């Protein structure tokens, strides 16, 4: 998919999620303050759409930066990786028995600041079938209709 073809996923905050924060906690080992996916709103055979509501109470805003709070880019990457982990875990039987690990990123580009009050929408796509437990994915972060960041991910 070329950059100009990428459409922001549609998000209706009143619609029931496919995975809520409790289900995500059953699948991922991350806990506050490192659990960075609030819900999953869509899952297909080779893609997933997750959501993170960025609040002014996020602990990272205390130091990044107190006078002009901005969500660190590395945490946006981590949130995409967690979303990708949920995609992989959704494809196996008994996902609670598996762990996923973030192995590599390529070509990260940040296009705008993420600030308190933003709702991040993550779209993560498998780029190839999962082989020997390793997956290659591409991830996008949207704030509203605008692309905020993109990257390539490897997971095991």
In CATH, what number is assigned to the domain containing residue 101? 3.10.129.10
- Could you give phi then psi for residue 19, rounded to 5 degrees? -130, 125
CA distances, 20 to each of 3, 4, 10, 67, 132 (Å): 29, 31, 17, 32, 29
Which of 58 and 99 is assigned the larger pLDDT?
58
Per-residue pLDDT of 61-120, as tens digits, reads 999 999 999 999 999 999 999 999 999 999 888 998 888 998 999 999 999 999 999 999
Residue 16 DSSP code: P
Q: Which residues are catalytic?
A: 64
Tokens 């979303």 sit on residue: 83
Q: Over 80: is that where the pLDDT of 2 sits?
A: no
Residues 37-49: pLDDT tens digits?
A: 999 999 999 999 9
How many domains does the structure of the chain reveal? 1
Residues 118-152: tens digit of each pLDDT: 999 999 999 998 888 899 999 999 999 999 999 98
Which residues constitute the domain of residue 108?
A: 3-155
């Amino acid at each position: 998919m070329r950059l100009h073809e990428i459409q922001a996923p549609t998000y209706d905050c009143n619609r029931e999620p496919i995975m809520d924060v409790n289900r995500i906690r059953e699948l991922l080992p991350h806990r506050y303050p490192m659990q960075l996916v609030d819900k999953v709103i869509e899952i297909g055979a080779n893609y997933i759409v997750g959501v993170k509501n960025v609040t002014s109470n996020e602990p990272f805003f205390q130091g990044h930066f107190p006078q002009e709070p901005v969500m660190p880019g590395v945490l946006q990457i981590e949130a995409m990786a967690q979303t990708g982990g949920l995609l992989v875990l959704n494809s196996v039987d008994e996902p609670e028995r598996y762990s996923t690990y973030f192995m590599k990123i390529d070509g990260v580009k940040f296009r705008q600041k993420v600030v308190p009050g933003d709702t991040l929408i993550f779209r993560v796509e498998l780029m190839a079938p999962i082989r020997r437990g390793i997956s290659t994915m591409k991830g996008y972060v949207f704030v509203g209709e605008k692309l905020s960041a993109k990257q390539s991910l490897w997971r095991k």
